[in-house]
Amino acid sequence: MSLILFDEAKPRVEDERPVNEASHGHGGKRNARSRLWQHPFEPLIVVPYRVAAAIAVMEMGISEYSVIADAVGLTIEEVERVDLVEDPAVRRLALARIPVGESFKLSRRVRCPKCQARVRLVPCIGCRSC
Ligand SMILES: [Zn+2]
């Protein structure tokens, strides 16, 4: 009996399969939808990839929640929560900013407010190189 109970408690095996994109140490957890992103220089900053992407889009100067939500695959409410920086990790990231060299792939293109290019990777590479 006790053996069965023990056996039932055991199989909490996280299947951590390596994720190709964003392999900064902690690549992904479980599936792509909930995968996490870790700041390369601030190990305490770990947020969902989409949240980091949303911040990157905001840093480009895009402030329309619906546009950001579409681009990164969050709901408008989730984008609003990111913008309100209620989460401590989000707050740290907003202060630390997205590091140079880091880029996020969007599910939908956005128009860069500076160079008007429609970009799928944020921050806008074109603008960043100037
Ligand atoms: Zn640009």
Residue 14 forms part of a structural domain: no
Distance in Å, CA 3 to ligand 1 centroid: 61
Please say whether the beta carbons of 127 and 115 come within 8 A.
yes
Residue with tokens 């140490």: 25
Residue-level pLDDT at 24: 45
In sequence order, what E strands does 28-126 have?
36-38, 46-48, 104-111, 118-122
Report the C-alpha gap between 121 and 87 in whole angstroms: 24
Q: What integer is the mean pLDDT of 48-56?
A: 97
Distance in Å, CA 69 to ligand 1 centroid: 19
Residue-level pLDDT at 20: 47
Residues in the chain: 130
Distance in Å, CA 112 to ligand 1 centroid: 5
**Residues β-bridged to residue 47:** 37
Report the C-alpha gap between 71 and 57 in whole angstroms: 8
114, two tokens: 């500076």
Residue-level pLDDT at 56: 96
Residue 120 forms part of a structural domain: yes
Amino acid, single-letter form, for residue 79: V
Distance in Å, CA 118 to ligand 1 centroid: 8
Whether the pLDDT of residue 42 is over 80: the answer is yes
Residue 117 forms part of a structural domain: yes
- Work out how many domains the chain is built from and give that number: 1
Distance in Å, CA 6 to ligand 1 centroid: 57
Distance in Å, CA 15 to ligand 1 centroid: 38
Q: What integer is the mean pLDDT of 3-12?
A: 50
For 85, the domain range is 21-128
Measured CA distances, 12 to 9, 15, 16, 101 (Å): 7, 9, 12, 36
Distance in Å, CA 29 to ligand 1 centroid: 31
What pTM does this model have?
A: 0.73
* 77-118 residue pLDDT tens: 999 999 999 999 999 999 999 998 899 999 999 999 999 999
Distance in Å, CA 1 to ligand 1 centroid: 64
Q: What integer is the mean pLDDT of 30-36?
A: 68
Residue-level pLDDT at 128: 73
